Amino acid sequence: AQKVTQAQTEISVVEKEDVTLDCVYETRDTTYYLFWYKQPPSGELVFLIRRNSFDEQNEISGRYSWNFQKSTSSFNFTITASQVVDSAVYFCALRKETSGSRLTFGEGTQLTVNP
Amino acid sequence: DTGVSQNPRHKITKRGQNVTFRCDPISEHNRLYWYRQTLGQGPEFLTYFQNEAQLEKSRLLSDRFSAERPKGSFSTLEIQRTEQGDSAMYLCASSARDYPQETQYFGPGTRLLVL
């Protein structure tokens, strides 16, 4: 079975603070893919990043960075200098190579950035 | 390049009625997915198509649910004899066949309320 856990249900920060969203996953597969999506109040899931299990290199994209650690089965997401527009629900998701195309999502973290 | 579109965006119906939702994927994407998202939860996989073939169905997809993608382009999801438990956001996503690197891009969803 595969599972994604986002232990932080809600996080509230003040603008310009850095914030890290945690994601822990479970899978027995050696090849898998991890994703982060953003869901603003409008409801549409916006793709942020995909990471393959065989590539542990961390990635930075502007104010966003991702820390992938296979040893702890974690794929954490950090927003630097948060802005009010970052307020949304963020989902971590897993796709196993052996599970076809289905994504397994965590329960999401509601991030609120206050001015 | 337009994104995934879904219609209607909102639907209110009475218990026992049938409803149908439509999804138009990104052009030239041959894979199309349906997910269901209830309040405070992450999306859950329902079914997916590769071209016109329905390749996988979740156990969540009861006999009252049927999905089609007749010409390998748009898809419809029909719920017969709706129940209050069917109230949810129904999300559609599409991807190009760059397996295993595929990324699913989501539409804005159809929010269903069954009274």
- How confident is the prediction along chain A (115 residues), in pLDDT tens digits per residue? 789 999 999 999 999 999 999 999 999 888 899 999 999 988 899 999 999 888 888 888 899 999 999 999 999 999 999 999 999 999 999 998 766 678 999 999 999 999 9
- Give residue B28's pLDDT: 84
- Give residue B7's pLDDT: 97
Q: What are B59-108's pLDDT values in tens digits?
A: 888 899 999 999 889 999 999 999 999 999 999 999 986 655 688 999 99
Size of interface A-B (CB pairs under 8 A): 62
The whole-angstrom distance between A8's CA and the closest CA on chain B is 13
Determine the Cα–Cα distance for residues A2 and A30; give it in Å rounded to an integer.
Answer: 12
A1 close to B (CB below 8 A): no
- Give residue B99's pLDDT: 57
- B75: its two tokens: 């898809």
Number of H-type helices and E-type strands within chain B: 0, 11
* Of residues A37, A44, A103, nearest to B107 (C-beta): A44
Determine the Cα–Cα distance for residues B34 and A114; give it in Å rounded to an integer.
Answer: 34
Q: Are strands B31-37 and B44-50 parallel, antiparallel or unpaired?
A: antiparallel
A59 close to B (CB below 8 A): no
- Give residue A45's pLDDT: 94
- Give residue A57's pLDDT: 81
- Give residue A98's pLDDT: 66
Mean pLDDT for chain B?
92
A46 close to B (CB below 8 A): yes
Kindly determine whether residue A52 and residue B106, on different chains, have CB atoms separated by under 8 Å.
no
Kindly determine whether residue B45 and residue A102, on different chains, have CB atoms separated by under 8 Å.
yes
Q: What are A93-115's pLDDT values in tens digits?
A: 999 876 667 899 999 999 999 99
B45 close to A (CB below 8 A): yes
Kindly determine whether residue B108 and residue A42, on different chains, have CB atoms separated by under 8 Å.
yes
- Give residue B33's pLDDT: 95
- Give residue A58's pLDDT: 83
Q: What is the 3-state secondary structure (H, E, C) of chain A?
A: CCEEECCCCEEEEECCCCEEECCEEECCCCCEEEEEEEECCCCCCEEEEEEECCCCCCEEECCEEEEEEHHHCEEEEEECCCCHHHCEEEEEEEEEHHHCCCCEECCCEEEEEEC
